[in-house]
Amino acid sequence: MRMLLDISIPHEPFNSLVRAGTVGKKIKQILDDLKPEAIYFSEYDGKRGAIVVVDLPENSKIPALAEPWFLTFNADVKFRVAMTPEDLESAGLEDLGKKWG
């Protein structure tokens, strides 16, 4: 199942890792482990943030996606299910519309 991780990273400990010159190594370590389909870094309400696209093979893998961000950066992580146009096409919306419309 494709998931979007919305990650909000507080200023600390990130600032300290930037000053120490180790933040890039930490991010690379996390991304090498997660193997995301895509990642975009941005800003969330004045904090650092990222949107990560991953393919989740099973729900039991959720901690493996979240814990590196929690433990390394004290980040908040939100999970959202994401569908491609092909996923939506095969969802059976017409049948659901007939049933519930």
> Domain map of the chain by residue range?
2-84
Distances (CA, A) of 40 to 60, 94, 100: 24, 34, 37
Q: What is the mean pLDDT of residues 7-35?
A: 98
Q: In which band, very low, low, confident or very high, does the pLDDT at 101 lie, cut at 50, 70 and 90?
A: confident
Q: In which band, very low, low, confident or very high, does the pLDDT at 16 lie, cut at 50, 70 and 90?
A: very high
- CA dist 50 and 3 (Å) reads 13
The one-letter amino acid at 101: G
Q: What is the mean pLDDT of residues 52-61?
A: 94
Q: What is the mean pLDDT of residues 16-20?
A: 98
Superfamily assignment of 2-84 in CATH? Dimeric alpha+beta barrel (3.30.70.1060)
